Each structure stands twice: as C-alpha cells, then as structure tokens.
Amino acid sequence: MKDQLRREWVALMQEGVHGQATRFRLRATRLSQLMRTVSPELAAALASGLAETSALTRLAPTAGPAEVPDLLSVEAEPILSAMPHWPRSVAAELRQIVYEWHAQDALITAGLHPIKTALLHGPPGVGKTLAARWLAIELGMPLATLNLAATMNSYLGKTGQNLTKVLGYARTHACVLFLDEFDALGKRRSDDQDVGELKRIVNVLLQAVDQWSGPSLLVAATNHESLLDTAIVRRFEATIEFPAPSSQQVGSVLKSLGVPPSLATSLGRRLQGQPISNATRLVTAARKRAVLGQIDFEAALEIMVAEQFKAQSQVESRRNVVATLHEAGKSAHQIAKELGVSHTTVLRDLKVISED
C-alpha cells in the first residue's frame, strides 16, 4: 500500500508539472480513494478540493489552443457517440493496450514500454474511429485527430510541414494521436515534381511510427489495409483487424439501441456483414418515423430494413444491365437513354463496375 501510494504521488506530481490535466485529475481522484484507509481526513479534503476545481478551473495545458497545428482537431475530453460492441478478439487487443498503459510503471522499470503504436484496419463503419475514442477515454488523454486524406489533398509542401508539426505536437502533449484514413498516404497520385516530396513525407511518417516514443499513443486507421505497403504495416507494434460484423455483433448493437431482443436477433442476421453504422442509421430513421408518423417503432424498423434491401437489389440489377450494355459497346449516353436514368448514374455505375 505504502509503495503504491508513493508511486501514485510521484506520478501525480510529474503529471501536474507536465500539465497533463486529464491524467492528473484521474490520478488525484484515485489517490483520494487510496488515501481513505491511511488518512480519512486527508482523503476527504483531497476529494472536496478536487470537486471544487472540477467545474471552474482546469490545469493549464502545456500549450494553448493557438499552438494546435492546422487540420489537427483536439478533443480535450472525448465522448463516445455509441456503446461499442466489438468481437472478442478486437476487444481483447484494445484492452491489452489500456492494460499496458495503466501498468506502464512496472513495464518501464523492467526496461519495457506499453504499446505505443497501433494500426486498426477493416471495412468502413465497424467501429475503428469509435475504438480510437474509446482508447483516449480509457487512458484519460485528449483525442487528437488528423485526417490524412484531407491533409494529403493540400499542397504537398504544406502537407509535409503540417505533418511535422502534428507529430511534434503529439511528442510534447500527451494524447491519443489518431491518424484517420492512413491509406491516403499510399493513394496520392503525384506528378514527377512531387515524387521527391511525397517520398520524403512517407519517410517522415515511417520513421515516426518506427521510433515513436514520448507521452502519446499513436493510432492509425484504414479501410484498405491492402493499399498499405507491408513496410508500413509491420512498423506498428499492434495491428488490430476489425472483421466484417457478425450477426451477433449487429444484434448486440441493435439491442443496446433499444431494439427488442427477438427483432434485434433477426435483423442482426439480415444486416450482418454490412457496416454497423448502417444498422444504427436505420434505427434512428425508424425512431423518427415512429415519433413523427405514429408508426410503431418495430414495424418502422422492419420496413426500413426491407426498403434498404430492395434499393440494394435494384442498384445491383441496374449495374448488371449497365455492364452488359457497356460490354456490347454502347456509350454511357446511349445506356442512360435506354434505361431512363441520368448520365451521371451510368458513369458512377461504370466506375464501380471497373473497380470490382
């Protein structure tokens, strides 16, 4: 107990000096609980002191908002938009990261360190962004998100500068640095002039991942792991695969959103393999219909799911026809006229067909 208290006090002071407000607050709360057995009066005084400050003041962060680099969005106290439901393998790997961070003192004493870099990959809408948020909350750190796709769209010279600033920020400010759409790195087509700069940017990132140290956890996410160079993937200490959602997973999410168990189970079966975000969107839409149109929520939900399937199969059959006509040598204009759809729809279909 004494040892633990001593460690906690030292850590608390270090966090205070470094201005790690969220961690400081969490540790101070834990300390006041630990102190209860040793000195109830001091514990009570600590707790009430903390309560007083919580509403009014926050410890000054090491850098003010003005120093946050362009395109980096920092949420000091991230919140979850939904209760996450991950497959057991994913949950276990995420929990391991949290566990190692909470036990980092023991690891560091043994010359080790907690997992500092993680790559999350899997289809869209299965909870990767949710996982980054969840990690930030569990670790008591702000969430700093950089959307790489957006960054890469800007002028490359600027991209490089921005990235360097963002990495520098995370090296001096404890946070979960979340690099979303990480594959954008490999996707950018560049003209000859840009090639050197692009290589430089990729190298900066590779080195950063390789040698990541300091107070932050680096989390990258991608929907297209296959687009990433294996040289990049193997640099991460943890690679977590988010599989396409199973019927149980979708069912659990639906249940947690208030869908009655038997309906959740049957819809889970129908919506498995699709983005979970899709299922949550249908629930919201159904709830709105129920509120506005006085339709029963369950009936509305079943109708919405059926409508979605109908729309999907319509799109699929139209695409088959477009593909056949295209193979027969018809132009997009001719196909559009023949099917009575817009030229843009045909172009979009052709693009999807060519990507398949």
Min CB(355)–ligand ADP separation in Å:
19
- DSSP state string for 142-170: -EEEEEHHHHHHS-HHHHHHHHHHHHHHH
Per CB under 6 A, the segment of 8-16, 118-126, 152-160, 164-172 that binds ligand ADP is 118-126
State which of residues 265, 277, 334, 345 lies at the interface with ligand ADP (CB under 6 A).
Answer: 277
- The DSSP 8-state label assigned to residue 336 in this structure reads H
| CA-closest candidate to residue 282, choices 63, 139, 125, 48 | 125
Per CB under 6 A, the segment of 61-69, 127-135, 296-304, 319-327 that binds ligand ADP is 127-135
Q: Is 268 in the site for ligand ADP (CB under 6 A)?
A: no
Residue 238 vs 332, nearer CB to Mg ion: 238
Residues 9 and 292: their CA atoms lie apart, in Å, by 55
Task: Name 238's bridge partners.
Answer: 118
| CA-closest candidate to residue 221, choices 133, 342, 330, 113 | 133
State which of residues 253, 264, 325, 346 lies at the interface with ligand ADP (CB under 6 A).
Answer: 253
Residue 178 vs 212, nearer CB to ligand ADP: 178
Is residue 209 within 8 A of residue 235, CB to CB? The reply is yes
State both tokens at 343: 């030229």
State which of residues 40, 124, 157, 261 lies at the interface with ligand ADP (CB under 6 A).
Answer: 124
Q: Is 280 in the site for Mg ion (CB under 5 A)?
A: no
State which of residues 22, 32, 129, 308 lies at the interface with Mg ion (CB under 5 A).
Answer: 129
State both tokens at 26: 């969490």
Is residue 119 within 8 A of residue 25, CB to CB? The reply is no
User: Which one of ligand ADP, Mg ion, none interacts with residue 32, CB within 5 to 8 A by kind?
Assistant: none
State which of residues 125, 140, 142, 268 lies at the interface with ligand ADP (CB under 6 A).
Answer: 125
Min CB(317)–Mg ion separation in Å:
30
- Strand order in 238-241's β-sheet? 72-75, 143-147, 176-180, 217-222, 117-121, 238-241
Per CB under 6 A, the segment of 23-31, 77-85, 157-165, 258-266 that binds ligand ADP is 77-85
Q: Is 243 in the site for ligand ADP (CB under 6 A)?
A: no
User: What's the gap between Cα 15 and its chain centre?
Assistant: 26
| φ/ψ (deg, to 5) at 265 | -65, -45
Q: Is 250 in the site for ligand ADP (CB under 6 A)?
A: no
State both tokens at 233: 């993937």
Binding site for ligand ADP (CB under 6 A): 81-82, 84-86, 124-130, 253, 276-277, 280
Binding site for Mg ion (CB under 5 A): 128-129
